[in-house]
A = this chain, B = another copy of it.
């Protein structure tokens, strides 16, 4: 789909069918995640990809109620930062670089027909700790966000937004011209 149309029509999809996702599609999503910019081109991210139902339930338990879409997702990507790669003068750029990677994957997945939703992890310490324990992550790897994905349970979930809904999202008071 055209990029501007996709960005402005995309919404979070939380209900998925059991239709499996082909490996070729998974690879394309990951390629999109590695195609974005990063601070000093550090590429300071890492991805833990799972299609195992039991593992996704454990990820849900690690994150609590808001992560419920993992219960019927057919693909979950734990997006992490890699502090061994992040810019030495300002390590916290990893948070932005991982967000760029995740948004690229969310948009690419939508373009490939997959509904998906961002699930928050960082900066919520308990979720971060639980996921470090679940996946036995090394010290340099920090969980950032989870993308839960699957083909939509109901195709109507992915129809374009109404013009009214688009107008609601455009908040003119967020924009300042030339000065604050």
Contacts and interface: CB of A to CB of B under 8 A. Distances in A.
Given A48-B180, A51-B178, A99-B100, 20 more contacts: A1-B2, A3-B7, A3-B107, A7-B32, A7-B35, A8-B32, A31-B170, A35-B166, A43-B174, A46-B174, A89-B124, A90-B120, A90-B123, A95-B96, A95-B99, A96-B99, A96-B120, A100-B118, A103-B103, A141-B180
A155 interface: no
Given A35-B8, A96-B95, A100-B99, A108 B3 contact: yes
A141 B175 CA distance: 13
A3 to B, nearest CB: 4
A112 interface: yes
A1 B137 CA distance: 38
Interface of A: 1-4, 6-8, 10, 12, 28, 30-32, 34-37, 39, 43, 45-52, 55, 89-90, 92-93, 95-96, 99-100, 103-104, 106-108, 110-112, 117-118, 120, 122-124, 135-138, 141, 144-145, 166, 169-171, 174-180
B180 A123 contact: no
Nearest to A46: B174
A159 B49 CA distance: 31
Contact of A50 (B47, B141, B166, B178): B178
24 contacts: A3-B3, A4-B28, A7-B36, A7-B107, A8-B35, A31-B166, A35-B166, A36-B103, A46-B176, A47-B175, A48-B177, A49-B178, A52-B178, A89-B124, A90-B123, A92-B123, A95-B95, A96-B144, A99-B99, A100-B103, A107-B107, A136-B179, A136-B180, A138-B180
